[in-house]
Amino acid sequence: MRPWLWKLGGATAVAALVTALSFTRPVELIERPVIDLMVRLTSLAPPPLAPDVPDVTLVAIDPASLRADSEWPWPRDRYAETARKLFAAGARAVAFDIDLSTAREPDGDAALAALIHEHGRVALAALRQRQLVDGVGELEVVSWPAKIFLDAGARPGHVVVPLDSDGVVRSARGVSELAGERVPSLSALMLEFAGVTAPEAMRDKHRIDFRYGHDAIPTLSFSDVREGRFAKGAVEGRVVLIGATAAEFQDLWTTPLGAVRPGMWIQAVEYRTLAAAARGLRTLAPAPPLVLFALSFALALLAQLGDAMRVWRRLTWYLGLDAAIAVGCQLALGRSAFLLSPVLPLLQLASHYVSSLERVRRRLGVRLREREMSLVALHELGESASQSTDGLELGLGLLGRIVDAHAVALLRAAPDGRLAEARVDWMPRGELAAVDPALAAAALASGRLRSIEGQIPARPGVPGRAVYVPLVAGREPVGVLVVESRKQARLGDTELRMVATVASQLALTVRSQRLAEELRATLGASVEAVASAVEARDGYTELHCRRLALFCASLAQRLGLSADEIEAIRLGALLHDVGKIGVRDHVLLKPGRFTPEERSEMERHASIGHRIVQPIVGLSPTTLACVRHHHERWDGRGYPDGLAGEAIPLAARIVSIVDVWDALSSERPYKPAFPQARVRELIRKERGAHFDPALVDLFLEILDAEGDEMLALVEASAEQDA
């Protein structure tokens, strides 16, 4: 697909997503305070009032009016007297935002009813309120104007104020359902009395255009009007709304303009809103989805245009777009009355800017990443070039991730250059790399890297690529590295260099492991020879070291020790009595009891053996501990260092138990072989004194489970060697 089609498709998808998000509840909650702020800013240039429509004047029952006549509630004749003066001054209509639902003094009610009947253009408030009823609880009650006033010709108009979830008045209803009847709002009735019909669209819930509250609404005090202290021009040709503004009436509401305002003031702003809509002027309304879609689409294209700019110029571009959005949304509110919040467009630009920076970072960091990966790979391979397969697996994993491989395999080569069956695999997707033996052998023989693209050789019909890299350490071929990927793209020069570099390090690791294995084999053979020499000198202890090695290794395995620890303990068991080489024959082979001097000489064999084996390269501290400390006791009365409890190395504690068991079970110059029942009794007796209690229990379990089979295995091995 062409790049410009991708851009158009991406811009369309972004615009559709932003438009859909604008109708979600969380976005609405975020946008409310922003739009309220924008409405307050329109005070700099409020819209003109509707032409040819009488404006509204407020007559407020304010604190001064209450102080002038403290008797409350006032008799209805006072309302009639005040309204009569308003009509006399030329008022077009009078509306009462006051609860006149109950009849009071007959004379006062009759006076107000007479006024209504005389002038006709009088609207009274109908409202819904909550009242606490004994035995029932809180009920919603609809208050209608008293019948006497309705019979006189008064029109009811609802003063229900819808509240948003944050307690702010932003909307109104042209018509509401009260007690099963559809009742127009008090503002709509006032407009009707002024000779103007509210638009049909404003009958449902709609926004109050609080921009019309920026121009001061003429307000007179009730007491001033009653006493005639007002200018005729303040009411002539206008509709007049009488209501309470004093805090005692608790008719105060929060609006987008910030401060709480009395309900009658909100009714007046709603009147101006309906008048403007009736004359075809734009009033506040949410921006059409098409406008928001077009804005988001344009921003997506402009953001893509900024992707080609340098970083700092791009930042300036985005800041300029942000400012244009803020100004444009404010202008849309002032000129077209569209409630278009800048929140989503700004978030759209911010997310695009962050993602573009990430793309720039990736582009600028390609070379740095390649170098970094090369250094990290070489460092980790160098760190892991130990005598184990783990280093190879780590190296294969690093290489596989660098070149995005499907699987990697390392095939070892025998010293004669032929490929062996042993291989190490890295397979993150759980599938072994398919290896073509002929290609692997050819790569090893030629010493050159071979890369096959288009199809994996060992997988007919499977697209991808495979790279065969010979591993050569010095001039010695040690194996072949096979890198398999399902991607058909060729490896770049950087990736090929990386493969070759890692392959050379892997070759050194393989050769080091081969040398280590040969050294371990040589060391093992040497230890076996030394153990055999010790057994041959002490005829009574023939096969003693081999039995110890087998049983000690089994006990260490049951303890869950690692393979390296098990091997070190096995070698320690083979060498534990090597110090007897330094004991004179007449002492070593004496059939009777030792003298104190002879016993002291015999006990020195542990430290002598430690001095003999300590210089041997490759023996671990665990092996050396077996040789030196296998005659220490759990209670601290052993030799040569008098260690006690867990201060004795675990390996030496293992050898100690098996050594005593085998000595008791074997014929010695100074005693016959004891029966196994007696041997076990003696071992248990020394539990917690001579031996580690937990090891005693475990060793006896091993004897019960597989002791006979292990002894038979040692005998068979000795016969085979013979």
CATH number at residue 434: 3.30.450.40
Domain co-membership, 77 together with 200: yes
**Which among 124, 278, 83, 266 has a CA at the least distance from the CA of 197?**
278
Alpha carbons 170 and 516: distance in angstroms, whole number:
82
Angle at 156 between CA 203 and CA 65, to 5 degrees: 115
Longest Cα separation, the chain: 147
| Six-digit token string for 466 | 């495979």
pLDDT of 518: 55
Domain co-membership, 351 together with 495: no
pTM higher than 0.85: no
pLDDT of 26: 86
Alpha carbons 200 and 175: distance in angstroms, whole number:
10
pLDDT of 384: 46
| Six-digit token string for 23 | 């109708």
The answer to whether position 481 is within a domain reads yes
pLDDT of 130: 60
Whether 574 and 626 have beta carbons less than 8 Å apart is answered as no
The answer to whether position 109 is within a domain reads yes
Alpha carbons 176 and 639: distance in angstroms, whole number:
103
Q: Which residues pair with 668 in a beta bridge?
A: 671
pLDDT of 458: 77
SS3 content of the chain, % helix, strand, coil (to 5): 55, 15, 30
Whether 61 and 244 have beta carbons less than 8 Å apart is answered as yes
Is 429 exposed, middle or buried, given 0-12, 13-18 or 19+ CB atoms closer than 10 A?
Answer: exposed
pLDDT of 621: 92
Q: Which CA distances in Å does 239 have to 86, 121, 231, 550, 603? A: 10, 10, 15, 112, 122
How many beta carbons lie within 10 A of that of residue 511, not counting itself?
Answer: 18
Strand ranges in 357-458 using DSSP code E only, listed in sequence order:
407-413, 419-426, 450-453
Which residue is associated with the tokens 């009759």?
110
pLDDT of 82: 94
Q: What percent of the chain has pLDDT over 90?
A: 28
pLDDT of 506: 74
The answer to whether position 384 is within a domain reads no
Domain co-membership, 344 together with 290: yes
How many beta carbons lie within 10 A of that of residue 386, not counting itself?
Answer: 12
| Structural domain ending residue among the three candidates 280, 306, 328 | 280
3 state SS of 653? helix
Alpha carbons 187 and 173: distance in angstroms, whole number:
10
Residue type, 695: L
503 Cβ neighbours under 8 A, 6+ residues apart: 449, 469, 470, 471, 481
Domain co-membership, 106 together with 203: yes
Which residue is associated with the tokens 């006709």?
120
Domain co-membership, 570 together with 450: no
**Which among 326, 288, 327, 319 has a CA at the least distance from the CA of 302?**
319
Alpha carbons 374 and 380: distance in angstroms, whole number:
10
pLDDT of 389: 45
| Six-digit token string for 112 | 């107000």
| Structural domain ending residue among the three candidates 516, 546, 576 | 516
| Six-digit token string for 301 | 């294209």
The answer to whether position 531 is within a domain reads no
The answer to whether position 182 is within a domain reads yes
pLDDT of 47: 87
Domain co-membership, 622 together with 664: yes
In the chain, the number of structural domains is: 4
| Six-digit token string for 277 | 């809509």
pLDDT of 94: 95
The answer to whether position 671 is within a domain reads yes
**By residue range, what is the domain housing residue 25?**
3-43+286-364
The HSE-up count of residue 187 (CA atoms within 13 Å, CB side) is 30
Domain co-membership, 323 together with 184: no
**Which among 500, 499, 508, 502 has a CA at the least distance from the CA of 478?**
508
Q: Which residues of the chain have pLDDT under 50?
A: 1, 367-368, 375, 378, 381, 384-389, 722
